[in-house]
């Protein structure tokens, strides 16, 4: 019977929390491989790092360097952010937790010797020790409520306690449907959050051209008026196309006080935006700018908006943070630079910019696997999103802390609540 033991502390935590990984009981200076695996639906993601034990027979991930693997060097969370689809699975795929009311179960395995990616599967080597680790987007004490209020659809996440709480609306991009993992994590950090879908969900319009600004205004005003939302004002966060809607909404809903664009569109894109007071025309998509790459289509040169096609977000009173990745192959960062140059001088103090070199379009919460390309279910193509895995992961970690701080500053989050994470209990 093997005397090897692996420990991960905490063994149960939120997905944005670091863990301490240690292996004991190894032969002196013995070579080992640590593998991490996740099953999500039919997909399996894995990662690995090769280590050499100390004289005392230990490996401590945050102190020792991986000589090879899906990452190298001293990387405390490398086994999480370097995960990629296993060889038997579709490769161009994004890791998405479909049911955030259950944890991500990460299985750690300690293997004797140094292994390569190719010989970790079919069949996998027999492990010396294994351990399951639970990672949550939604803390068990955060409630999730399905929203069916008149025309309004989505999911509402409410932190524990009496409230009221600082409110945030969370929107994603042109893939449609409901994505609520980031909303759940924000709620686990003390915000009340409304994950707001805008098409291809339940009885909402089935296609993006049918999306109505009136629906988005109605939904935003409904959320801002909830009794457990702080009345001083709300925030919004939007990725990609969702960023376009958040910028436009802050021009119509005065209660929006803080907006975060994550590689967000700053101009009217793709299709006209329906509105009862007059539809808003979009900038032309330049099909000749499409580049076909081995990893998918690159559309970074397909948008060249004129000045009048940018959203005049400065007409609101909101503070706006633009999180921009410089290797985004879906949206040219120079377009955002131009948007910020258009901001009148007297409003520039409310606009802020963070840039991340070598990071791509799909910026997720910390330690999420990097998705460099994936199949776009609406456009029916593989899209090339860009980014290099290590810099992209660094950007995810750094930007998340800045986003939390930005909302805390502008939405008056309770500092006692902000200073302490909601720790998952050791046993549910």
Q: Kindly list the catalytic residues.
A: 240, 328, 361
CA dist., res. 239 & res. 364, Å (int): 9
Rounded to the nearest angstrom, the gap between the alpha carbon of residue 15 and the centroid of all alpha carbons in its chain is 11
For residue 255, what are the CA distances in angstroms to 107, 169, 224, 251, 413? 44, 12, 7, 10, 16
Residues forming a β-bridge with 273:
280
CA dist., res. 245 & res. 268, Å (int): 9
Q: What torsion do the CA atoms of 392, 394, 397, 401 make, to the nearest 10 degrees?
A: -110
The owner of tokens 């190298």 is 72
Name the burial class of residue 145, with classes exposed (0-12), middle (13-18) and buried (19+) by CB atoms within 10 angstroms of its CB. exposed
Single out the residue of 295, 245, 238 nearest to residue 270, CA to CA. Answer: 245
For residue 271, what are the CA distances in angstroms to 261, 280, 284, 418? 20, 9, 9, 39
CA dist., res. 109 & res. 37, Å (int): 8
């Amino acid at each position: 019977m093997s005397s090897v033991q692996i420990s991960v502390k905490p063994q149960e935590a939120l997905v944005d929390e670091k863990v301490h990984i240690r292996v004991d009981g190894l032969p002196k200076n013995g070579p080992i491989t640590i593998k991490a695996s996740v099953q999500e639906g039919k997909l399996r993601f894995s990662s690995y790092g090769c280590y050499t034990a100390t004289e005392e027979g230990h490996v401590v991930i945050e102190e020792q360097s991986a000589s090879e693997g899906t990452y190298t060097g001293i990387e405390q969370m490398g086994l999480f952010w370097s995960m990629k689809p296993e060889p038997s699975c579709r490769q161009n795929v994004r890791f998405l937790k479909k049911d955030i009311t259950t944890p991500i179960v990460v299985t750690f395995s300690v293997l004797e010797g140094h292994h390569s990616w190719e010989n970790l599967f079919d069949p996998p080597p027999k492990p010396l020790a294994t351990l399951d680790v639970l990672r949550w987007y939604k803390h068990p004490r955060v409630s999730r409520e399905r929203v069916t209020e008149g025309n309004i659809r989505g999911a509402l996440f409410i932190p524990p306690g009496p409230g009221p709480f600082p409110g945030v609306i969370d929107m994603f991009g042109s893939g449609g449907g409901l994505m609520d993992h980031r909303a759940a994590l924000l709620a686990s950090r003390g915000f009340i959050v409304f994950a707001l879908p805008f098409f291809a969900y339940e009885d909402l319009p089935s296609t993006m051209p049918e999306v109505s600004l009136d629906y988005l205004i109605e939904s935003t005003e409904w959320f801002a008026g909830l009794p457990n939302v702080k009345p001083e004002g709300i925030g919004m966060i939007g990725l990609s196309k969702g960023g376009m809607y958040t910028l436009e909404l802050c021009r119509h809903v005065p209660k929006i006080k803080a907006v975060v664009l994550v590689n967000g569109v700053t101009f009217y894109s793709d299709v006209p935006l329906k509105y009862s007071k007059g539809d808003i025309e979009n900038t032309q998509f330049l099909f000749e700018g499409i580049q076909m790459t081995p990893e998918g289509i690159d559309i970074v040169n397909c948008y060249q908006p004129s000045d009048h096609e940018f959203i005049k977000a400065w007409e609101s009173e909101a503070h706006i943070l633009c999180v921009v990745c410089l290797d985004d192959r879906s949206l040219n960062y120079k377009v955002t630079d131009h948007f910020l140059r258009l901001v009148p001088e007297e409003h520039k103090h409310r606009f802020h910019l963070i840039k991340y070199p070598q990071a791509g379009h799909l910026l997720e919460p910390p330690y999420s696997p990097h998705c460099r390309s994936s199949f776009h279910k609406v456009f029916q193509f593989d899209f090339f999103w860009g980014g290099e895995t290590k810099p992209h992961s660094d950007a995810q970690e750094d930007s998340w802390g800045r986003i939390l701080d930005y909302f805390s500053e502008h939405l008056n989050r309770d500092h006692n609540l902000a200073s302490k994470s909601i720790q998952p209990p050791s046993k549910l």
